[in-house]
Every structure is written in C-alpha cells, then in structure tokens.
C-alpha cells in the first residue's frame, strides 16, 4: 500500500479504508470477506459530484446552470474516471476474483472508475473534505482534460460489447453552407436511441454522440 500512497500523494491513517477501496466484490466473495468497495463507491460518487460542482461554481462564474451541469458530467463521467485510474495505475493494486481476472476485469473501465470513486471516499473519511478536494484536484479533474474524443467511442464500444449489444451511429441532420457544415449524429444500442451529438465533421459528431451516451449513464 505504501507505493500506492506515494502515487496518490496521501498517507492513510486507517489503512483498512484504502484496502477496502481496492477490493472488488468478486474478491470479497471468494475470500469470504465482509466488505468490498461498493459502499465507498456510493459515498465517493456523491462527494465527487459535490466537490466538482463547488469547483465549477467558484471558477466558472460566467457559465449558465446548463453549461455547469454539462461540465460537471464531463469531469465525473466513466471515461474521465477510468483515465484517472490508469494514470495512478490503480489496476496494479485492485483486488479482483479469479473470474474477473481471467476476463480482464482488472483493467475494465467501469471497475477502474468505481475504484477511483471508492479511493476518493476513503481519502474523505480518513482525512476530511480538504484532502478529498486535493485528491480530485490532482488526480481526477486533470484526467478529464487529457481525454481525446476517441476515448469516448472506444470506451463506449467496449461497454456495449460487454453487455452483448451493438452500437451504431446514424447521421440524422446536416446543416449550414459547404464550408461551415454542422452534422448531427445519433448513437443507438441495438436500435434504441441513446445519445445525440453534433460536430463540424461526421466523425466529430459520432464522438460527441458517444460522449452524450456516456454522460447520461445509459449503460
């Protein structure tokens, strides 16, 4: 745990909190343990949402409520959290069961995102709100800015495939003069509309649609 504490820049007083934050339910069940990270993830989701809203409110004074909501969704969505987890190499420390290990669960974006929220909650419980805010400031919010639009399509495709579904992109609108075209694309899961995005190219619109579906939590 010492190596991970160095990576995240926080030294836990209660090491059990960090250990729990890194324990997947599959590992808990195999080892007959009492707790996995799920309760911490629940708390971490709320703490991160509040801290992100606070940060945006104080630093983006000119943004409307709708724009603030969109920015917050971008900062706390699964691709952003999974990227933060990869930057911290949390996959090296998370404890998963044999089945999850064999199917690549250790590096699965959904699990990595959950672990980030659990670790944030552990930091919050161990060191208070200021420590949690510092953790988000250093490890979570910058990770969202590193993402390229390609990450959203790639991660979305992986999530859809894991659920046995198919994601398809459909051009539903095209406006503007030839030199200033705007395209509107809809992403559908097994034919069901799940997200809409716009862009100056068809590819950009597809990426925006994938991002929209991720931010809405449609998986």
Active-site residues, by number, are 45, 117
CA–CA separation, 47 and 57 (whole Å): 15
| Plot region of 217 (φ>0 → left; ψ -120 to 50 → alpha; else → beta) | left
- Residue-by-residue DSSP string for 161-194: HHTT--EEEEEEEEES-GGG-EEEEEEEETTEEE
CA–CA separation, 38 and 152 (whole Å): 24
Q: How far from chain centre, in Å, is Cα 148?
A: 14
For the beta sheet containing 192-199, the strands, ordered from the edge strand earlier in sequence to the opposite edge, are 167-175, 182-189, 192-199
Q: Is 88 exposed, middle or buried (0-12, 13-18, 19+ CB in 10 A)?
A: buried
With CA atoms as reference, report the closest residue to 116 among 52, 208, 26, 210: 52
User: Which residues contact residue 160 at a Cβ distance below 8 angstroms, ignoring those fewer than 6 apart?
Assistant: 166, 167, 189, 219
With CA atoms as reference, report the closest residue to 122 among 50, 42, 53, 52: 42
């Amino acid at each position: 745990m010492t190596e991970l504490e160095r990576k995240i820049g926080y030294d836990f007083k209660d090491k059990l909190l960090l250990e729990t934050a890194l324990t997947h339910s599959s590992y808990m069940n195999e080892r007959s343990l009492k707790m996995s990270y799920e309760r911490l993830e629940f708390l971490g989701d709320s703490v991160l949402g509040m801290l992100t809203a606070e940060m945006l409110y104080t630093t983006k004074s000119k943004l409307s409520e709708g724009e603030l909501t969109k920015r917050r969704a971008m900062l706390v969505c699964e691709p952003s959290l999974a990227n933060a987890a990869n930057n911290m190499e949390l996959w090296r420390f998370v404890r998963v069961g044999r089945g999850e290990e064999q199917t690549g669960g250790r590096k699965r974006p959904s699990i990595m995102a959950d672990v980030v929220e659990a670790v944030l909650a552990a930091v919050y419980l161990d060191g208070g709100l200021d420590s949690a805010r510092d953790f988000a400031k250093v490890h979570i919010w910058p990770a969202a800015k590193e993402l390229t639009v390609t990450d959203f399509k790639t991660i979305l495709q992986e999530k859809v495939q894991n659920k046995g579904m198919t994601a398809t992109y459909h051009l539903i609108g095209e406006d503007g003069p030839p030199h200033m075209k705007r395209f509107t694309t809809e992403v559908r899961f097994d034919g069901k509309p799940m997200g809409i995005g716009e862009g100056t190219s068809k590819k950009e619109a597809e990426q925006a649609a994938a991002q929209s579906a991720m931010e809405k939590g449609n998986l």
